[in-house]
Amino acid sequence: MNLKPVASDRLPELLRLMPKAELHIHIEGSLEPELIFALAKRNGVALPYANVEALRSAYAFTNLQSFLDIYYAGASVLLTEQDFYDMARAYFLKAAADHVVHAELFFDPQTHTARGVGMETVVKGLHRACVDAQELGISAALIMCFLRHLSEEEAFETLEQALPYRDLIIGVGLDSGEVGNPPEKFARVFARCRELGLHLVAHAGEEGPPEYIWTALDLLKVERIDHGVQAAKDSALMQRLAKDRVALTVCPLSNLKLCVFPDLAQHNLRQLLDAGLAATVNSDDPAYFGGYMNDNFTQTFAATGMDAQHAYTLARNSFEAGFTSEAEKRSQIEGLDACFESFR
Ligand code: HPA
Ligand code: ZN
């Protein structure tokens, strides 16, 4: 598409208006402190924080693990199907306001089944919110993540529990503490998921080394890499990712808050795009990292000096990388083109 030049002071408006897909959002990471306290009250769950302000002031992270400890504690208020629905509904309302038209939601069943909350409760609540998101103009789907700090056996048990809901899940992912938990531990579970026709993704190269990206691709056979920013340390890997158009679901504000980059100006999103990689922008855990989709776009563009061409490429990449049909992709990209054509 032939892009008209866009004045830099108009770029934030274009970034906010353009239709986009979100491919890396942990739905438990969209639980705002206010909702955590409301659900704690509704369910009679005690929290180790006096109030919303005290909880929010604990959101000063130094690395991934320091975040995960608080994130798993926050999820402890989720008990009923309605809780999961309400959490996802709140996310979809924010996403719609940010002109997200397609979203693929990660969820962590093991965080809930370990507390005695059934797989059925989790999946049905989230699925109902995905169905209702259509009225907001959002197509949505669920990706079930295995916690990589747990065992292969526990991942297989989780997969078994999910089989009755196979049709409500489009794929599986791998998340939680990366360093010391390389992808190969889950090669057999992922092979089984592949036989079941599930799409495959994995977090790799967030804090962990480029080797974890290689093994996610070659052993797990994933179709997208979540984060992947450490790929820039390995030029052969950069060439592989560019050649195969492997999408990276990059999360700039997450990387900033978890100290992967010292500031946004030093984030390598622009470098990844300029090297021809199919990078996308995503929010990861927006309630914890201080921003939803449009915050990620506007803050990262302001810090790195990216332009309207980068904006178009990022949104287009997000549609091309979605687990959607060719017809859906075509229609999403037509919507994107129409937005850029009419913007003045
Ligand atoms: N990385 C790994 N696991 C996670 C993340 C993340 O950014 N967010 C929620 N679980
Ligand atoms: Zn993530």
Residue 64 Cβ < 6 Å to ligand 1: yes
- CB of 208 sitting under 6 A from ligand 1: no
Question: Long-range contact list for 193-199, CB < 8 A, 24+ apart?
Answer: 193/159, 194/221, 196/166, 198/166, 198/169, 198/170, 198/171, 198/172, 199/143, 199/170, 199/171, 199/172, 199/223, 199/323
Q: CA 254, CA 241: separation in Å to the nearest integer?
A: 22
Which atom of ligand 1 is least distant from the CA of 108?
10
203 lines ligand 1 (CB under 6 A): yes
- Using the mean position of ligand 2's atoms as its centre, give its distance from the Cα of residue 206 in Å: 9
What is the Cα–Cα distance from 254 to 285, expressed in whole angstroms? 7
Alpha carbon distance 160, 143 (integer Å): 15
> What is the residue with the minimal CA distance to atom 4 of ligand 1?
176
5 CA → ligand 2 middle, Å:
33
pLDDT, residue 240, reads 98
Residue carrying the six token digits 């295995």: 146
Q: Is the CB of 268 under 6 A from ligand 1?
A: no
pLDDT at 4: 86
In the DSSP assignment, the letter for residue 80 is S
According to DSSP, the residues that pair with 20 across neighbouring strands are: 100
**281 DSSP β-pair partners:** 250
pLDDT of residue 328: 98
Ligand nearest to the CA of 205: 1
What average pLDDT does this structure show over 139-158? 98
SS3 199: strand
Domain boundaries, the chain: 11-35+81-342
- Give the DSSP letter string of 259-328: TSSSSGGG--HHHHHHTT-EEEE--BSHHHHT--HHHHHHHHHHHHT--HHHHHHHHHHHHHTSS--HHH
pLDDT of residue 281 exceeding 90, the answer is: yes
Determine which residue's CA is closest to atom 7 belonging to ligand 1.
284
- Percentage with pLDDT > 90 across the chain: 98
Q: What does the pLDDT average to over 263-287? A: 98
Pocket mutation for ligand 1, best pick of 72, 179, 203 (most atoms within 8 Å of C-beta): 203
Sheet-wide strand order for 224-227: 20-26, 100-107, 139-147, 171-175, 199-204, 224-227, 247-250, 278-281
18 contacts 102 by C-beta, under 8 angstroms:
no
For ligand 1, the distance from its centroid to the CA atom of residue 246, given in whole angstroms, is: 20
Q: What is the pLDDT of residue 1?
A: 81
Catalytic option among 206, 320, 328, 334? 206
| Alpha helix segments (H runs only) across 61-105 | 64-74, 81-97
Q: Backbone dihedral region of 137: left (phi > 0), alpha (psi from -120 to 50 degrees) or beta?
A: left
**pLDDT tens for each residue of 303-325:** 999 999 999 999 999 999 999 99
Q: Which of 67, 72, 227, 254 to mutate to test the pocket of ligand 1 (most atoms within 8 A of CB)?
A: 67
Does the domain at 11-35+81-342 match CATH 1.10.10.10? Answer given as: no
Residue 253 is inside which H or E element, if any? helix 252-257
Task: Report residue 112's pLDDT band, with 50, 70 and 90 as the boundaries.
Answer: very high
206 a catalytic residue: yes
Contact between 183 and 225 under an 8 Å Cβ cutoff? The reply is no
Of the pLDDT bands very low, low, confident and very high (cuts 50, 70, 90), residue 2 is confident
8 Å CB contact between 78 and 40: no
Mean pLDDT of 129-142: 99
Q: Which of 253, 285, 296 to mutate to test the pocket of ligand 1 (most atoms within 8 A of CB)?
A: 285
- Report the residue count for the chain: 344
Q: How far apart are CA 313 and CA 308, in angstroms?
A: 9
Which tens digit of pLDDT belongs to each residue from 36-82? Answer: 999 999 999 999 999 999 999 999 999 999 999 999 999 999 999 99
Residue closest via CA to ligand 1's atom 3 equals 176
Distance CA 45, CA 117 (A): 14
Q: Residue 29: nearest ligand to its CA?
A: 1
Which pLDDT score is estimated for 338?
A: 98
Ligand 1 proximity of 318 Cβ (cutoff 6 Å): no
pLDDT in tens, 159-193: 999 999 999 999 999 999 999 999 999 999 999 99
